[in-house]
Structure 1
Amino acid sequence: MNTTHTEKKAKPVAPKVKELIERSKSVILATVDAEGNPNSSYAPFVKVDNTFYILVSFMAKHTKNLSEGRKTSIMFIEDESATKQIYARERLTIEAGISQVERDSETWVNVIIKLKEAHGKVVDVISEMGDFILIALHPVKGSYVNGFGSAYFVDSSLEIIEHRNDVNHQSK
C-alpha cells in the first residue's frame, strides 16, 4: 500500500478552513472595474453565519467595483511570518456574490456591533461617515490549500468537498 498517496488524498479536517478564517482580521479582495481592469485590496471583516461583511469607503476603488455588483474573489492567507514554506502558504480563496446592506437596517445595526467588537471603536466613527457602505460577501465556491499537493474544492458553506486533482507536480 502506498501510504504517501493515501495521505495526499485524505481530506483535511473541515475546522482547518474555519480556523484560518478565525485567525484572520482582514480579507484580501480582488475586484474588477467596468473596463475589466483588476484591483486588489483588503478590508477588515466579520463573518456572520455564512456571510462576510466589510465596511468600506467609496474613496477606495474596490468599493465602487463591489457596489456595482461585479464579480469578486476573496482570500484568507496564512501570515508570512508564521509559514514554514513560503511556496505553500495555507490559503482559502472564494468566489463571492455581492450585496449592499441598507444603512440602519436590522442587519446593518447587528453587523456594525460585531465589527466594533472585532475591530474597535474606529467602527463607530467610520460607520457614521456617508461614504462608507456595508457590503455582504456571499461565498459561492472556492479552494483551500494547505501544502504541496494538498488542494481542495470548497462549497458555498466552506466545507471541503473533494481533492482538487490527483495529478502530482511534474518534473522538468
Structure 2
Amino acid sequence: MNHTHTQEEAQRQAKPLAPKVKELIARTQSIILATVDAEGTPNSSYAPFVEIDNKFYILVSFMAKHTKNLSEGRKTSMMFIEDESATKQIYARERLTIEATTTQVDRDSETWNQVVGLLKETHGKVVDVISEMKDFILIALHPVKGAYVNGFGSAYFVDENLEIMQHRNETNHQSK
C-alpha cells in the first residue's frame, strides 16, 4: 500500500476538534470580508473584530464600501486564515470561511458599550477615537454555516456554532 495514500486517508478520517477552529480565530485579529452591493458587485475588505458568544463584532466606517453592504444585510462571507509567514504549504493554508447574516448594533446600547470596550481592550486606544465618529457603526456578524480547511483533503462543514459537522468532500483530489 502506498504510504502517502495511507497518510492522506488517516488525515481525512481524523476529524479535527472544534477547539482547532477556535484556535485559528484566537490567532487572528481581523476578519477578511466579502460583501455584495445592491447591483451584486462583489467587494472584499477586512476589519478588526472581537468575538462574543459566537458573534463577531466589527466597528466600520461608511467611508468604506463594505459598510453599506453590511448595514443593509446583504450576503456576507467572512474568512479567518493562517498567516502566510506561518504556513507550511501556501496551497493548504488553514482557514475558516463562514456565511453570515448581519445586524447593526444601536449606538450607546448596552451591547455597543460592552463591545466597544472589548474592541478597545483588544485593539487599542484608536477605538476611543473612531467609536465617537458618527460615520462609524457597529455590526454584528452571525455565523450561518461554513467550512474549515486544515490541509489537503482535510475540509469540513462547520455549523452556526462553529462546530465541525462532517468531512466536506469524500472524494480525493484526482490526478490527470
Tell me the TM-score normalized by structure 1: 0.97
Alignment partner of 1:133 out of 133, 137, 147: 137
Partner of 2:58: 54
State the Cα distance separating 1:14 from its structure 2 match: 1.5
State the one-letter code of the partner of 1:109. N
Partner of 1:42: 46
Give yes or no for the alignment of 1:66 onto 2:57.
Answer: no
Partner of 2:100: 96
1:1-172 equivalences in 2 (<5 Å)? 3-4=6-7, 5-172=9-176
State the Cα distance separating 1:27 from its structure 2 match: 0.3
Query: Which string of whole-angstrom CA distances, capped at 9 and with x for unpartnered residues, describes residues 58-112 of structure 1?
Result: 0000001111110100000000000000000000000001000000000000000
State the one-letter code of the partner of 2:99. E
Aligned with 2:139: secondary structure?
strand
Aligned with 1:28: secondary structure?
strand
State the Cα distance separating 1:3 from its structure 2 match: 4.8
- Percent identity reads 80
State the one-letter code of the partner of 1:169. H
Contact 2:35 2:70 in 1 (8 A): yes
Unaligned runs of 5+ in 1: none
State the one-letter code of the partner of 2:156. Y
Question: Distance between the aligned counterparts of 2:116 and 2:94, measured in 1?
Answer: 29
Query: Which string of whole-angstrom CA distances, capped at 9 and with x for unpartnered residues, describes residues 122-143 of structure 1?
Result: 0000000000000000000000
Query: Which string of whole-angstrom CA distances, capped at 9 and with x for unpartnered residues, describes residues 128-172 of structure 1?
Result: 000000000000000000000000000000000000011000111
Tell me the TM-score normalized by structure 2: 0.95
Aligned with 1:143: secondary structure?
strand
CA-based RMSD of the aligned residues comes to 1.2
Contact 2:11 2:153 in 1 (8 A): no
